[in-house]
Amino acid sequence: LDYIAAQLQATSSYRPGERTLSGQLLTAASVDTASPKMARNPADERFRGLDFAHSPEMLRMFNNIFGLHEFRVNQLEAINATILKENVFVVGGAGKSLCYQLPACLSAGVTVVISPLKSLILDQIQKLTELGIKARTLWGDHDYTDAENIYEQLSENDPMIKLLYVTPEKLAADWLQLYWNRGLLARFVIDEAQCISQWGDDFRPDYGTLNELQQDFQGVPMIAVSGPIGPHIQEDILKKLQMTNPQLFTMSFNRTNLKYAVPTRTTMYGEMDCITWIKEHYPRDSGIVYCWRRVVCEYMADSLNEAGLLACSYHAGMPNRDRESAQNKWKENECQVALFTLLLQKVLRMVWCIGVA
């Protein structure tokens, strides 16, 4: 704990006991993937402001469809660069998805989003559907009839589908080449791009083929979005993607609503401490408990249920039907506590969060 505190003191502002993580606000940058260092972009003024031909319609959608009225740091610049068909890399905290979702609504053709996990995809699809934005998904074991319906919609001269979310293995399909030949590919999006470097090919072997996208589909721009990562991982991702002349936009890592504390547990998995803490502080709220292993997820879920808390586990080892059931229970407020492995840390929104180490 002393080591962790020292690292935090060196990299962020904090208060002993209960700490608020804070990050650094950076400006747009251009990246030379052959260089060990990333230079500030002297031309970032190109992407600032609201004087572009697309600006009036972009602002209308920003306000009326997405219900937003203020851009986050570097968000407007990243959106402008994406609409202008630049290759873009967005790194940061909240607001990254808007950097490709808003341009997708303004662009002709379909924006193809490559995402690592089905649960992430389903959550994004639900949010976009609620906003009235046409978004669909395809993955390896997708229902044949539904997939054929999606292909049929995409075969139209002006497809209504604006965002198509796919898992990496679907990139090997012939349909991409057909839509590229017809000029229907607006852009590629690499969602959760940190997976390329942090999880590697063992997690998703098809991630190793993403560097072929700009070679095989010349003229189709790419935007990669990632959670907070350091410069070395940024360079590693860009080298693996082989993005041409990418524009890097680093957004704020500061989440003022996030705090952490490190209590001492009294049992092996801390189940009793977790139960007591939830009942004392959040008896009527919902939240997520992160666990290192699947077996711990199952054990903690059983313990919380026995204590009278509605809990469900959620991890990659569960059958699809069980995972979908758990996710639906969460969204319908039928589950107060979701037990996740760290791999699934971005699937659902939360009120509070506990990590079981």
The CATH number covering residue 121 comes to 3.40.50.300
Domain end, chosen from 250, 281, 300, is at 250
Interhelix angle 55-64/98-106, nearest 10 degrees? 120
229 plus 317 within the same structural domain? no
- Domain membership flag for residue 9: no
Q: How far apart are CA 8 and CA 13, in angstroms?
A: 7
66 plus 200 within the same structural domain? yes
271 plus 347 within the same structural domain? yes
Domain end, chosen from 222, 250, 278, is at 250
- Domain membership flag for residue 14: no
323 plus 228 within the same structural domain? no
The pLDDT value recorded for residue 103 is 97
- Domain membership flag for residue 108: yes
Q: How far apart are CA 271 and CA 262, in angstroms?
A: 15
For the chain, helix (H) and strand (E) counts, in that order, are 14, 15
The pLDDT value recorded for residue 149 is 79
**314 is in which domain, residue-wise?**
260-356
126 plus 265 within the same structural domain? no
Q: What is the CA radius of gyration of the chain?
A: 21
User: Whole-model pTM?
Assistant: 0.69
115 plus 181 within the same structural domain? yes
Closest CA to 167 of 201, 204, 217: 204
- Domain membership flag for residue 8: no
Task: List Cα–Cα distances, 167 to 118, 157, 160, 209, in angstroms.
Answer: 7, 25, 21, 12
Q: How far apart are CA 76 and CA 315, in angstroms?
A: 35
Count how many domains the chain has. 2
Per-residue pLDDT of the chain in tens (357 residues, 90 and over written 9): 444 444 444 444 333 333 333 333 333 333 333 333 343 444 467 899 999 999 999 999 999 999 999 998 889 999 999 999 999 999 987 789 999 999 999 998 899 999 877 777 888 898 999 999 999 988 766 666 777 778 778 777 777 899 999 988 777 667 788 888 888 899 999 998 887 775 554 455 666 678 888 888 989 999 999 888 888 888 888 888 888 889 999 876 666 666 677 777 777 767 888 888 888 888 888 888 888 788 888 888 899 899 999 998 888 788 878 887 887 887 778 888 888 886 555 444 444 555 554
238 plus 269 within the same structural domain? no
